[in-house]
Structure 1
């Protein structure tokens, strides 16, 4: 009886250990699936808008982790609607998300992908800061501010 109990216990423990190493996606690495990316926002700015009802925003999101993510939306209380746009072949269009590769970055910059603020509630002026919330698929919400710069402001790439 004692030998049988020991054998059943050993089998149960082995099965438990094997199952603990499994993940729901079959990859065997549950920690990577549940890991959050390490995102940092830099270089954020908004050129002072020339129109009263719309503006653009630019920034860089750096991912210092082995986990990719997506920017899925942006919100701000300065605007009735905020969209994320890409520019290809000199044509701008709204997109549902932007990929942020593992150990990579997303550049939102003049002439390319950017944040579009529509239906401005007030026209921001040079020296002010516009609060935004960046919504990511895995990292959640990151709050940041876009300093309002001169209309012609265009920092050089580094």
Structure 2
């Protein structure tokens, strides 16, 4: 009986560890997470492309009135965010959306989201199509994925 308990525990850990990865075609989305305030929030993840070049064109979600692709840029020594049209996913490469870099920007949240709350975002890729992924809120920014692709 104890053996079955440990087997069940090991399997649940394996499955929960993989629960935060999503796949569409040759693209794997690794551990999407978000952090932010009462009216805005940023979303992060790693996009691993094992196939031909593709692009993330946009994203949509029910948690905010608008959702944009953004990039941080240095402008005369000042870090600024700017909206971008798409995010290139070169063939056989990993693109990381991370703080101070590329990210999703959730604008005008419909309600504040709490630590550990989960919500769905649909990512729209040029070639791979649409994929719904589950984000988890980490108010401290410490949910940056511990697992590497």
Normalised-by-shorter TM-score class: 0.7 to 0.9
Indicate yes or no: 2:39 matched with 1:53.
yes
Indicate yes or no: 2:127 matched with 1:138.
yes
Of structures 1 and 2, the larger Rg is shown by: 1
Consecutive unaligned residues of structure 2, counting only runs of 5 or more, are: 1-23
CA contact (8 A) 2:31 2:145 kept: no
Higher strand share: 2
Tell me the residue number matched to 2:29: 41
**Deviation digits for residues 4-62 of structure 1, max 9, x if unmatched?**
xxxxxxxxxxxxxxxxxxxxxxxxxxxxxxxx950000021012x23x21111001110
1:153 is displaced (CA, Å) by 1.9
Poorly superposed stretches of 4+, deviation over 3 Å: none
Distance 2:136 2:30 in 1: 11
- Aligned-CA RMSD value: 1.8
Distance 1:102 1:37 in 2: 13
Q: Secondary structure of the equivalent of 1:61? A: strand
Consecutive unaligned residues of structure 1, counting only runs of 5 or more, are: 1-35
Q: What are the residue-to-residue correspondences of 1:97-112 with 2, within 5 Å?
A: 97-112=86-101
CA contact (8 A) 1:37 1:63 kept: no
Distance 1:76 1:53 in 2: 14
Indicate yes or no: 2:115 matched with 1:126.
yes
> Relative contact order (alpha carbons < 8 A, sep ≥ 6): 1 or 2 greater?
2
TM value normalised by structure 1: 0.71
Q: What are the residue-to-residue correspondences of 1:1-158 with 2, within 5 Å?
A: 38-47=26-35, 49-50=36-37, 52-65=38-51, 67-89=52-74, 90-153=79-142, 155=144, 158=148
